[in-house]
Amino acid sequence: MLCMTDNALHAVEAQIREQAAAHCESSNIPGYVAGVYRAGEQIIVAHGTANIATGAPMLHDTGFLFGSVTKVLTTTLVLQQVDRGLLDLDTPVTKYLPELVLTAPGAADKILVRHLISHTNGIDADLFFPDAKGRDALRTYVSGLASNCGTLFEPGEQLSYSNGGMIVAGRLLEVVTGMPFPDLLQRDIYAPVGMKNSSTSAEQAILRSTAIGHFLDPETMAAKPTGMFMLPDTWGPAGSTPIGTIADLLAFGHTHLAGGVSPSGTRVLSAASTALMQQVSHDMATPNVPPMGLGWVRYPFGDTTVLAMSGASPGGVSILCVVPEHDLVFTAFGNNPGAIMLQDQMLQWLLSAHLGVQIPTLVTEVEQDVDLAPYVGTYRSNQLRIDVTVVDGQLEERTTYEPADESQERIFTEFAGGMTSAPPQRYVPIRPGLFAPAGYPLEAFDGYLRLLLVSFHDVRDGQARFRNGGGRLTRRI
């Protein structure tokens, strides 16, 4: 293991500052903030503008929406209740939460608590956006599942990134603790971890420096502020409402490095539960879907495992990475979705240049003679349709958003910055069942962007049952 000295941390700070400035300028990203913790020392770098409507600068302590990084916080809350004896991971959720009902009769009864936080629950609700606020928001979400959402697969059968599972977990926490989710997050995560500048509402965030998201104008390619700061309260446990700073996320990451003990020495989670979150709970055995722990996604970089979660918010993207083998935490936020490319570059640079990690090439070659017929067809999940055809010896995918109602369409359209459709995307075969977007160099998939690869699963009678893109499953219809 290499030692990152003070001089090395200075070099990290200088490199992050240089990379951020260059990438933000070339990609029209208004602002960026990142931090690194290593072996008791940390640095934070801020660049650019937090809000171009006001000209407010991005500062070291500027707050931002955590997005789906929240899912690791929610999972930590669940494991706390396991430590306290209030929950059992292998008990059906409906024992604690009888109000959980899906459109498929009896389907909810098969879902165990662990399925919610390992993304193996099968709840087909990834774009279900009920618009509700306040203390009953999660109750409203769960009650809406009964008439709006079914299942993609049997619990434990597959892995599919699940907003719905985490939101149900949030409501489960409310029921077993008797506390609203935001209050529980404040009491049991923010306070003991030392996340002093974290909150769960726009009303709280406006009292201090807070970044907003931005999208690129499709005509001018200039950044423009988002028209929606955050998703509805119903998505709180999946990532809509928590807001904090880089220092706060470094403290949370450090807590998971230290076996559940916060930087101040407070026991936040048992060592056993902290370790359990980091262990493989499900593995799809395909390069584009890393093995899943509980809450954490386990990205393999050669022999080194990076525990990670990224988070999208309206016009912004965050990331939290914990590398236990090297006592390192990396976290960042950029206020344009294109910042995910910069975060991927920084993570790989930290691993290779400063930790000496050998990052192998994930995709070394493509195959020419792959039978494409098993993958052709139409695949669906909640409000999303993907039509797969063969064009010029490649797969071509057309994705269509099919809103359930006006409210769903309004929320998703604002979340996506007005862009709800995309041109057809061609894919070249890497091997049977695995495809890369055409035109990308193969080395682009060595890091976090391996999620751009598409895989097909469970081929029966010459037809694949599932398509996986970005960690999310759609099912053949």
Q: Is the pLDDT of residue 312 over 50?
A: yes
pTM: 0.96
How many angstroms separate the CA atoms of 373 and 375, rounded?
A: 5
Domain definitions of the chain by residue range: 373-476
The overall average pLDDT reported for the chain is 95
Mean pLDDT of 360-368: 88
Q: How many CB atoms lie within 10 A of CB 405?
A: 10
Q: Is the pLDDT of residue 4 over 70?
A: no
How many angstroms separate the CA atoms of 387 and 46, rounded?
A: 42
What are the pLDDT digits (tens) for 221-247? 999 999 999 999 999 999 999 999 999
Q: Look at residue 41 and give its three-state secondary structure.
A: strand
Please provide the size of the chain in residues.
477
Q: Provide CB contacts within 8 A for 329, sequence distance 6+.
A: 35, 36, 37, 38, 42, 249, 250, 253, 254, 257, 320, 321, 322, 323
Percent of the chain topping pLDDT 90: 93
Q: Is the pLDDT of residue 7 over 80?
A: no
Q: Is the pLDDT of residue 1 over 50?
A: no
Instruction: Say what the pLDDT of residue 368 is.
Output: 83
Check if the beta carbon of residue 147 is closer than 8 Å to that of residue 103.
yes
Q: Using CA atoms in the order 137, 317, 415, 445, what is the torsion angle rounded to 10 degrees?
A: -120
Check if the beta carbon of residue 68 is closer than 8 Å to that of residue 238.
yes
Identity of the amino acid at 157: E
Exposed/middle/buried for 182, CB within 10 Å: 0-12, 13-18, 19+? buried
What are the pLDDT digits (tens) for 262-304? 999 999 999 999 999 999 999 999 999 999 999 999 999 999 9
What are the pLDDT digits (tens) for 394-451? 999 999 999 999 999 999 999 999 877 789 999 999 999 999 999 999 999 999 889 9
